[in-house]
Amino acid sequence: MVETDNILTVDKLTKHFKDFTLQNVSFQLPRGYVMGFIGPNGSGKSTTIKLILNLLHKDRGQIKVFGLDNLDHELAIKDRLAFVLDENHYYEELSIRDMARIVASFYKHWEPQTFEKCLKDFELNPKQKIKKLSKGMKMKFSLAVALSHGAELLIMDEPTAGLDPMVRSELLEILTALIQDERKSVFFSTHITSDLDKIADFVTFIHHGELVLSAPKDDILEKYGIIKGSNDLFDEESRSLFVGIKTNKFGFEGLVRDRERAQRCYKERAIVERPTLEDIMLYTVRGEQHV
């Protein structure tokens, strides 16, 4: 078996649908890191995850997990990865205990003690039926299952969507604890970019099925910038600096890809700020906007 430093490699991944295309998406996640996979709803995040899990069939491109082709070594890969999907797909009529027994039977390295500890930590009653669990509890149950078979890669599709701030915070704490083990990696799709502020090492951003950027989070936040100034500073020449811009009668505010260049260009005449991931996503998606 071939092992590489990249735990997940997606190369020129393409999938056509009737009304949407995922086009040449490429990125790599090194082992031991957390990658946030961001983009607005309908940008292709779930499609990419389903292609990694072979729930959808790709048209072109290659996916390697643990350095292995995801189709040729599907079983071996799935035994070593864990998934948490955006909604509950477990059997609602079953109890937590019965559902876990079923799932456990498919994994080579199920760890009953870890599962019991997770149930205790997450305050889940094993006798309770899944249909009786709240959305947050269902997510915790999915996470308990995901953490109980020694998976090296955890793939999560919008795990925080629809959760209250308390549960979201708990979930992020669990993930922070998980990645203390440097062999484990997390690939985490979300449109709530604030979730990634604390835990993501890398960010991959897609929009309309195309890759916008994929880089270390700190590099992105260092490189990009928010520029605010009066409208007379904003001309045709400087327009090319901006990824997205919002103007009104008082002035403009925009996102630039190269903060240093913008600083050189505007000197003291404009305010230059460090953006958040949310700024980067919003300005990229909206482009130019006049209010």
Partner 1 sequence: MYNLVWKDFLLLKRFLWVALLYGFAAPLAFKTMQGGALSAATVGTTYMLMIQACTQDDKNKSEIMLNSLPLRRRDIVAAKYLSVFLYAIPAILSFFFAQLVVSVTGIPITIYQISLEGIAGALVAMAVLMSIYFPIYFKFGYLRSRMVGMFLFFACFFFVPMAVALTVHGLEGMGNPTLRNIAVVVQRVLGWLLTQADWQIACYLLALSLVLMIASACLSLRFYSKREF
Question: Contact positions toward partner 1, by CB under 8 A?
Answer: 50, 53-57, 74-76, 78-79, 83, 85, 87-94, 98, 101-103, 105-108
What are the structure tokens assigned to 97, written together?
Answer: 């205990």
Residue 195 sits at the vertex; the CA angle it makes with 190 and 197, to the nearest 5 degrees, is: 120
C-beta separation of 50 from 70 below 8 A: no
143 vs 280, beta carbon nearer partner 1: 143
155 vs 213, beta carbon nearer partner 1: 155
81 vs 280, beta carbon nearer partner 1: 81
92 vs 222, beta carbon nearer partner 1: 92
Give the separation between CA 182 and CA 12, rounded to whole angstroms: 28
Nearest approach in angstroms of CB 238 to partner 1 is 46
C-beta separation of 203 from 26 below 8 A: no
Please enumerate in sequence order all residues whose Cβ is within 8 A of that of 151, keeping only pairs 6 or more positions apart, or say none. 80, 81, 82, 184
For 5, 138, 166, 192, 205, the CA distances from 162, given in Å and listed in that order, are 34, 12, 12, 10, 21
109 vs 269, beta carbon nearer partner 1: 109
Give the separation between CA 191 and CA 169, rounded to whole angstroms: 16
Nearest approach in angstroms of CB 14 to partner 1 is 15
Nearest approach in angstroms of CB 103 to partner 1 is 7
